[in-house]
């Protein structure tokens, strides 16, 4: 039997890690039931794989590694691997291949880094992120929250490199527009 198992206390996993794992997952999938399911599956996978734990990472880090894989599995399963071009949406930002004046980034000005303002900003950002299409959200989360490389994201989501860049570009445009309307505009 693996002598690293003596360090494990699966009876305490839920008490020690469930809330943090859930919060981490919610920030990435924006669905309470799905986040709960992913965390449950993480604990189940950890329990089933406890014999393979080699002690190279802390119990917490091991659980987070399993969780991250579960999140990536979710995105992989949800990905259709195709991208539908929406000419109407594209027309909001580009005309004859050039960015329209109305679509040019606005100056956001200087904002203080007060904790309350940061909390409000991240709340608005989260709501804006929820408005993205699932595939855009998956690409955005993997790129900017998980720090995944473009090549890895393409493999996981079964998309081409050009689809990846279009998805990232559109996600950033839509997030910027939403933030300008719901955050920058209210300052």
Q: What is the CATH number of the domain that holds 163?
A: 1.10.10.10
Q: Residues of the chain with pLDDT > 90: what percent?
A: 22
Confidence band (pLDDT; 50, 70, 90) for 1? very low
Range of the domain at 35: 3-78
Which of these three, 24, 45, 78, is where a domain ends?
78
Tell me: do 33 and 67 sit in the same domain.
Answer: yes
Tell me: do 91 and 57 sit in the same domain.
Answer: no
Residue 130 CB-density burial (10 A; 0-12 exposed, 13-18 middle, 19+ buried) = exposed
Is 60 exceeded by the pLDDT of residue 4?
no
Q: Which residues face 98 on adjacent strands? A: 95
Tell me: do 120 and 62 sit in the same domain.
Answer: no
Is 80 exceeded by the pLDDT of residue 27?
yes
**Distance in angstroms (rounded) separating the CA atoms of residues 167 and 174:** 10
How many alpha carbons lie under 13 Å from residue 28 in its C-beta half-sphere? Answer: 29
At residue 73, the pLDDT reads 85
Tell me: do 103 and 167 sit in the same domain.
Answer: yes
Residue 159 CB-density burial (10 A; 0-12 exposed, 13-18 middle, 19+ buried) = buried
The mean pLDDT of 79-94, rounded to a whole number, is: 51
Tell me: do 8 and 67 sit in the same domain.
Answer: yes
Residue range 11-23, pLDDT digits in tens: 788 889 999 999 9
Tell me: do 110 and 67 sit in the same domain.
Answer: no
At residue 85, the pLDDT reads 41
Tell me: do 71 and 91 sit in the same domain.
Answer: no
- Higher-scoring residue by pLDDT: 79, 145: 145
Which of these three, 43, 78, 113, is where a domain ends?
78
**Distance in angstroms (rounded) separating the CA atoms of residues 53 and 62:** 8
Is 70 exceeded by the pLDDT of residue 141?
yes
Neighbours of 133 (CB within 10 A): 15
The mean pLDDT of 162-168, rounded to a whole number, is: 91
Residue range 90-99, pLDDT digits in tens: 555 556 555 5
**Distance in angstroms (rounded) separating the CA atoms of residues 51 and 59:** 13
Tell me: do 120 and 147 sit in the same domain.
Answer: yes
The torsion angle over the Cα atoms of residues 26, 29, 30 and 31, rounded to 10 degrees, is -90
At residue 151, the pLDDT reads 93
Which of these three, 53, 78, 103, is where a domain ends?
78
At residue 36, the pLDDT reads 95
């Amino acid at each position: 039997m693996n002598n690293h198992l003596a360090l494990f206390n699966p009876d305490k996993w839920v008490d020690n890690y469930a809330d943090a794992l859930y919060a981490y997952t919610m920030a990435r999938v924006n669905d309470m039931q799905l986040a709960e399911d992913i965390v449950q599956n993480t604990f189940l996978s950890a329990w089933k794989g406890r014999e393979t734990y080699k002690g190279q990472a802390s119990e917490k880090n091991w659980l987070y590694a399993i969780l991250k894989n579960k999140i990536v599995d979710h995105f992989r399963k949800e990905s259709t691997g195709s991208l539908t071009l929406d000419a109407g949406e594209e027309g909001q930002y580009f005309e004859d291949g050039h960015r329209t004046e109305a679509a040019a980034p606005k100056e956001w000005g200087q904002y203080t880094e007060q904790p309350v303002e940061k909390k409000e900003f991240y709340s608005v950002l989260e709501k804006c992120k929820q408005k993205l299409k699932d595939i855009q959200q998956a690409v955005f989360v993997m790129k900017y929250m998980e720090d995944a490389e473009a090549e890895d994201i393409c493999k996981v989501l079964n998309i081409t490199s050009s689809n990846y860049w279009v998805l990232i570009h559109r996600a950033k445009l839509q997030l910027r527009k939403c933030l300008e309307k719901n955050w920058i505009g209210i300052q």
